[in-house]
Structure 1
Amino acid sequence: MQPNASRRVRRVLVVDDELEFAILMNDVLATLPEPLNVEIAGNGRDAVEAVRRAAPDLVMLDANMPVMNGLDALRHIRELDPKLPVVLVTATDCHSIAEGLLVGVFGYLPKPIDLRYVAHLVDLALSSRAGDTTAPGGRR
């Protein structure tokens, strides 16, 4: 059997109320060497439900959304899976970044996104999930 034959496709949940941005992230993730199954949610409440239902390997979470904002969703996600890597995506809202770090985000991406950093951050986050190591800004 080939070494990767039994390896499952990892799941990434992209959460953003701007559909165009979520589709852009999906397209960027599709260019990465590792195939990923990407699901999109449009608000924090849907994100929490998707984490409960689908157990993703990584969440890319917008900070400012209607219905339930990203930081409130992050708190609920931490209750469901304390070690799930979450990357906070924000329009450089320093308060959201600081609060996200306190709640245990893996890292953050400021909007507008510099696409050069997405692959590196996603790879680090997924590697941390596989090894269950302490993530930058996160907790063990």
Structure 2
Amino acid sequence: MLKGIPSILSPELLKVLMEMGHGDEIILADGNFPAASHTNRLLRSDGHGVPELLEAVLSLFPLDTYSEHPIALMAVVPGDTVETSIWTTYEGIIGKYTPPRIEYVDRFPFYERAKKAYAIVATSEKALYANIILKKGVISE
């Protein structure tokens, strides 16, 4: 155990966050996302939801300040009547660290972007459209 490191972050996830460079992307995926078929670097965070994982990751992870939208969410498919209140939760968490600059990406372009991401973290999140992409920035200290 280490001081100041959220216990929800596994050693494997901490290693991946450290390995990532400026502009690399990581996906925190809900339980329905086809994570295993969209990446070569799959991390499991079973039993956890995306909000608590997002909070822990953002406590250590700088978002890209050079990108107009360092955060992306999977847009709701037209005609799908799904409650997306989890997005409001995300905005609240993100707002603790930086102004939320979020883009909404259609389903299949989101999947293509996922294939290029540095890693995907599969969670047990039950909310629909709860997938989120984070683009890593730099630490300027």
TM-score by length of 1: 0.39
Comparing both chains, which one has the higher relative contact order based on Cα–Cα distances under 8 Å and sequence gaps of 6 or more? 2
Larger helix proportion of the pair:
1
